[in-house]
Amino acid sequence: MSCVAGPDRGFATVLSPGTHTIGRAGTIELRDPTVSRIHATIRLDARGVRLAYPDLPWRRLPVDRKRVRLRFGDTTMTIQHLRPGRFTSAFDAQVMMRVGAPALICLAMIPMALSGPAWRWAMVALPGFMALAGWLSLRQSRRSTRRGRLLPVAPEDVLIHVLLGERGSDERVVPRCLTSDVLWESGEAWSILGPDTQGHAMWLAGWLAATHRRETLGVASPWINTADDDSDIVVTFLPHDAALTPSPGQVVVTYGGPLPWAVPIPMRRRARLPQGTKRWISALADALMQDEAAASLPTRTALGDILELTTPAVRRRWDATTLGSTLAIPIGSDEDGTAILDLAAEGPHALVAGTTGSGKSELLTTWLLALAATFSPATLTFLLVDFKGGAAFGPLARLPHTIGVLTDLDMSDTIRALTSLTAQLKRREEIFVRYGVRSLSEYSVLDDADKPDLPRILVVIDEFQALASDAPDVLDQFVRLATQGRSLGVHLIAATQRPAGAVTPAMRANMPLRLCLRVTTPADSSDVLDSPAAAELPAIPGRLIAAGHATRTLQCAWAGPLTEVEALVSDLSAQWAIRGGGHVSVPWAPTLPARVTLEQCDGAWGRADEPELLRHTSFTPTSRHLMVIGGAESGRSTTARLAAHQLSAAGEHVVFVTSQDIAWPGIDTVALHDIHLSRILVEAAQSEPSRLLIVIDDLHHWRAALDDALGPGTGNDYVERLTRCAARFIAVGDTSLATARFAAAFPERLVLAGLDAVNLSVCGVPNRMSPGPGAGRAFHIPTGRAIQLALPEDPVPLRAARQPRFRSLPTGTPNAPAGFAGWSLPAAAPWAPRITTSVLIIGPAGSGRTTAAHTLAAICRQQGRRAQVIDNASAMDERLMAPVDCDDVLIVASDPATVTYAAAGPLAALKTSSSLLLLNPQRMTRVAGMSFPIPGWVYAQCPAMNHPGRGVWIDGYGATIIQLASRISSGDPRLPKRPAC
């Protein structure tokens, strides 16, 4: 961005990514009095360059296509896109378009011209001439480009030339506006004539200083000085009234008036010297000074050049270091040679900042490798925290010093590590009190072979700005941890790309060592160093400013390519293994195993993680009711089986409602979609408060089935009844349970895996916490602990078998025991009807109506009574009019429609005097005018009632759900007493 007109003419700046303000008080300062304090705002990001005036929207500037001119008050500025590299590539798209394509066409047309008339050669020559013309134009444009880049003339271009780090020429060059008579040879004396000779002289001095190396040509002037004893020639600028004749090795340029012994400086035809301004020459001098300072440091230093990495050298350093040793290591090069950085002495905590491409990750890699090659894992360990996905540290995770890598992909592990580290600090404090020491240094010199090993713990956080945005409380915990661990051997290195706004006062107070690589804005630099100096560092990876005991500029060492880093990590790991070091002890309990068995739990439900106590303990729910919520493949149904098993093992009467096809001795199993048995179960729980222990798997499906069969709201109503009346209630289902109206009755919950962040929040899991992957892994509410539940393959209840109270009816109409017609709810016990005079069987086609009639007739015969069966009876069926003996039983079967519309006649009379058997009642409409009232639940849409022979027996004793058998076994059963006629 350059100023081409106005009071700041010649001023230029390189626009870095980010947002900048333009004005008298802006980050891009203009000294034009007609410009506001904040006149405009300009932004450079992935969307390009955009400009906005106060209270106006952003507009995009097409700098990628042309130079854009902007006017602010009396100041005119231009913005242009400078592509990398001094010269354009020799082979690019223009070469192919202007030269390659015509040449290929020419070659392709030669065979056609050879086999045809002569005029075809004119067609061949045309693309040939086009290729030649294109080559000449490209050559001329490249010469112009090369000349323009090597010899910038406009003041703003000269300043940009320096700001971009373009090195000066090794040969003496002359600006294009002067003739070739000027050679800058010793003894030359030139005089600048014109109306503003000082401005011209100022420009010429700046141009010479910018385009020449100090050794080739030095400048001595009132505005800028680059001359020293090593300069081959010195061009001295003096006013005409103080000018002296040139001495050997000197060229004198005067301004302000003519001199008899000075030759007017020769100009090319129609050319003139540009003018410089004081702001331009001042900015140019500052840029040259920074460039000289940067050039005094090497651009790259290998880690192996400043630290011996051979196996014997590493072993010697490992043997020489102790727990009380400082953390001094060579980190790179400075003006005095090798730069030493001591985290323990200058810290104990450090803050690192640097924009993308500045070498921040390389600095962390070099720092950690140098520490690992100097201190053994017995004295120093690393905890790496990467909030860029986990790939920043790469092979460093395999160092023997590394005790863990925490990422933003699993915040639960990060919070667990923080909790454990806090507990570890308390443990160290107790050890220090017991031994009567105040710091790790004092503890290390104790002569006690039985004292616990307490290595230093270095926590390295890469991209803590993301941590500050996503989890500010977690970052605060890290900072508090570092504050408490100053004397306990805990150190913290926090690194980020954008420190602006992320560096808190607590971090500034506790991180005296600060390393800042190149950053995009002065504000970023000021947040770290309290100085904008880092924003002006050259674009050299690894160049940084370190502020500790003193502020200095360093060139960080480079650890080498990835293959060399991996080789060094492997070598350090091998050396530690040879020494018999094994795995380094971590400052927290190991993570919960992926699977535990019932035998390992000693009667408990699983294992609980207690990071604050650095241990694992047994887990058993303590509340009266428990809700288990999980996603698919999370072990939800297996957890329900585990609950039923553990409750039954304690000697309790357990009822297990499930869709699983299982039958366990000692546990009453109720089919999930058996609506009528579920209804009976709820009524039994109400009639016997605090006696039943109920486990319902897939409670959300159970509620939906009850709502479909018995009406909306029935499912929630039944669940609320169970929460009030059941001794214990274990509800297992999906996330809909967490928002149900009965959720408050379940203060204790287990949230399993398979849920996203939104559903976890709905279930009551705190933000950024999760159960973790794997079947049986759960998050316990309200303790917030991680639980690994036992997942038995086929749990066998420990309680002896007993007669069940609740069991679904059998299917397939098997044979019934002798003397019984079938089975009845709630226990699926054998059932025999109490038949008086007549039975009316009502059922649709396919419901087993005929079979039911003959089964009941067989029961009558076993009871010593005759039975007359009339199947498919109509309203005026003559068979119904025949007289019936007092000892005979009339069994009539008909379809629902016939019975419903029988308003008169023998069938209508039978409706008001017979026992009823309704088969598959959910498939029929309500039948009116019966001898006994029919409850509304009889017609519920229950899938369990769809089997042939399944129905409801209604007599004077009430309604009973039964399953009739297809055949009755022979034998000598204990028959019910024959009722009187």
356 is in an annotated binding site: yes
Closest C-alpha among 167, 158, 165, 176 to residue 224: 158
Residues 403 and 381: their CA atoms lie apart, in Å, by: 7
Tokens coding 980: 């009187």
3-state class of 460 per DSSP? strand
- In total, the chain counts a number of residues equal to 981
Looking from the CA of 801 toward its CB, the CA atoms found within 13 Å total 4
Closest C-alpha among 474, 463, 364 to residue 421: 474
The DSSP bridge pattern shows strands 777-781 and 786-789 to be antiparallel
360 is in an annotated binding site: yes
State the angle between helix axes of 675-687 and 699-710 in degrees (0 to 180), rounded to the nearest 10. 100
361 is in an annotated binding site: yes
Specify whether the CB–CB gap between 697 and 657 falls below 8 A: yes
357 is in an annotated binding site: yes
- Chain centroid to Cα 925, Å, comes to 57
510: Cβ contacts below 8 Å, ≥ 6 apart: 349, 479, 482, 483, 486
3-state class of 949 per DSSP? coil
Residues 750 and 772: their CA atoms lie apart, in Å, by: 13
Residues 425 and 423: their CA atoms lie apart, in Å, by: 5
Specify whether the CB–CB gap between 957 and 834 falls below 8 A: yes
Q: What is the DSSP letter of 976?
A: P
354 is in an annotated binding site: yes
Specify whether the CB–CB gap between 301 and 332 falls below 8 A: yes
DSSP string covering 312-364, please?
HHHHHHHHH--TT---EEEEEEETTEEEEEEHHHH-SSEEEE--TTSSHHHHH
Distances (CA, A) of 965 to 311, 351, 824, 915, 921: 86, 82, 11, 19, 18
The DSSP bridge pattern shows strands 728-733 and 625-629 to be parallel
Sign of CA dihedral 392, 395, 400, 404: positive
358 is in an annotated binding site: yes
782 upstream amide cis, omega within 30 of 0? yes
Per-position b or e across 160-184, b if 16+ CB within 10 A of its CB = bbbbeebebeeebbbbebbeeebeb
3-state class of 719 per DSSP? helix
Annotated binding residues for ATP, as ranges? 354-361
Annotated binding residues, as ranges? 354-361
